[in-house]
């Protein structure tokens, strides 16, 4: 009997072969789906809105009968866990969310399944370059976030919104301390700093130039502009601090994220009267990607989940519930806070090293000046 049981056990294992990157590339999509259902589980390490996403993934679970587990964990903790465990044969992470620029912090070819751009059925419609970083197909965008300016129409009309550097000069002179933005605890303030810097200092290629001494010296006119206006704007403690003080009427405008504002409004925590716009000087739009670690224990289920996550239907649902910018061109973004026409003012972030240098130098040359 023992021999028979052992034989049956081995047989049952053999019909669920462990799939790796090479196996997945040799499978038809129908075989991937079948294998995914056999694996039955996906562990998605996503650092924000975990409770909301646990509700959102129920449609995936219902459709495919595959459980989705979303552990608690911060962005940095999840990334460190991945890096620490990347050499293990079997990892705990099946799908990992990262900021778009984070792909430069990992050895994608060595540690990730992919390129996903050769494995996903809707691959040619998806984005693999985001926030100035090219994942080479190993990371795919699933979450679009746009920086801009939230404003209270009770204090400033749509027609009065600053669009150019000259407009900001004029507005700040007439309305001191009515504009707020952060430099730490969230990237919306640094986005406004970067945008103003780009419009004042135009002889730098912000996507490719590195923060050399020559490059940073060129930025002095931007620091001069911020210092000249230093008593006319307020530096806040965080994204949350900015939006809370806007909602209370302390500010007329603050730098913020589109999805952050939309999420708070959908929860009733911020007035629906607060509006959002992207000035014509442009503000950067970015987003987050997902990757599949090479040591995932559920490779087919992970690939199927990423396909679902980036599908037009799911991206439409994310836009409706969270206000995120869809990353699939077939998705409906009619619930966004801004029009498609205004979204043309969205720009790319500076490359990661220059982006960090601009923020850090602002703190040194302006905040601590």
| Distance (Å, whole) CA 346 – CA 282 | 6
Q: What is the pLDDT of residue 230?
A: 96
- Residue 2, token pair as written in the block: 């023992």
**pLDDT tens profile 219-278:** 999 999 999 999 999 999 999 999 999 999 999 999 999 988 998 898 899 999 999 999
Tokens, residue 216: 């940073």
Query: What are the residues whose beta carbons fall under 8 Å from the beta carbon of 315, sequence distance 6 or more?
Result: 142, 326, 327, 328, 331
Instruction: Name the stretches of the chain with pLDDT < 50.
Output: 1-17
Q: What is the DSSP letter of 249?
A: T
Sole residue written with tokens 């047989």: 11
The structure tokens 């199927």 sit at 304
Please give the structure tokens belonging to residue 359: 């923020």
pLDDT at position 13: 38
CB 39 within 8 A of CB 66: yes
Q: Hey, is 288 helix, strand or coil? A: strand
Taking the C-alpha atoms of residue 283 and residue 198, their distance in angstroms, rounded to an integer, is: 10
Maximum Cα–Cα distance across the chain: 89
Residue 137: what pLDDT?
96
Res 15: pLDDT: 39
Radius of gyration of the chain (CA): 23
Given a contact cutoff of 8 angstroms between Cβ atoms, the answer to whether 24 and 32 are in contact is: yes
Distance CA(298)–CA(35), nearest Å, equals: 9
User: So what's the pLDDT on residue 20?
Assistant: 62
3-state secondary structure of 284: strand
pLDDT in tens, 304-346: 999 999 999 999 999 988 888 889 999 998 888 988 788 889 9
**What's the confidence (pLDDT) of residue 133?**
83
d(CA 342, CA 326): 15
Which residues face 290 on adjacent strands?
Answer: 97, 140
């Amino acid at each position: 009997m023992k021999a028979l049981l052992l034989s049956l056990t081995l047989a049952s294992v053999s019909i669920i072969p462990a799939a790796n990157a090479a196996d997945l590339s040799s499978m038809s999509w129908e075989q991937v789906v079948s294998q995914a259902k056999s694996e039955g589980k996906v562990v998605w390490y996503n650092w924000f809105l975990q409770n909301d996403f646990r509700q959102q993934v129920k449609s995936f679970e219902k459709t495919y009968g595959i459980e989705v587990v979303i552990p608690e964990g911060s962005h940095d903790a999840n990334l460190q866990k991945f890096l620490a465990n990347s050499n293990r044969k079997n990892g705990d992470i099946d799908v990992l969310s990262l900021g778009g620029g984070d792909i430069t912090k990992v050895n994608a070819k060595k540690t990730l399944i992919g390129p996903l751009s050769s494995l996903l059925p809707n691959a040619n419609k998806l984005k693999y370059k985001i926030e100035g970083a090219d994942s080479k197909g190993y990371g795919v965008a699933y979450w679009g976030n746009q920086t801009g300016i939230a404003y209270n129409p009770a204090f400033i009309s749509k027609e009065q919104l600053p669009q150019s550097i000259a407009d900001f000069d004029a507005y700040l002179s007439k309305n001191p301390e009515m504009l707020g933005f952060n430099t730490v605890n969230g990237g919306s303030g640094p986005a406004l700093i970067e945008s103003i810097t780009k419009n004042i200092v135009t002889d730098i290629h912000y996507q490719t130039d590195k923060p050399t001494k020559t490059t940073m010296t060129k930025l002095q006119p931007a620091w001069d502009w911020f210092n000249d206006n230093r008593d006319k704007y307020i530096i806040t403690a965080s994204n949350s601090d900015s939006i809370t003080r806007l909602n209370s009427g302390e500010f007329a405008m603050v730098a913020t994220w589109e999805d952050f504002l939309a999420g708070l409004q959908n929860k009733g925590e911020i007035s629906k009267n607060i509006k959002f716009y992207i000035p014509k000087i442009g503000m950067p739009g970015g987003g987050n990607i997902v990757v599949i670690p090479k040591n995932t224990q559920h490779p087919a289920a992970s690939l199927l989940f990423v396909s679902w996550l980036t599908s037009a239907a799911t991206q439409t649902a994310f836009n409706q519930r969270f206000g995120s910018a869809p990353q699939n061109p077939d998705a409906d973004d009619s619930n966004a806070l801004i029009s498609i026409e205004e979204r043309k003012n969205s720009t790319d972030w500076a490359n990661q090293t220059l982006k960090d240098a601009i923020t850090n130098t602002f703190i040194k040359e302006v905040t601590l000046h």
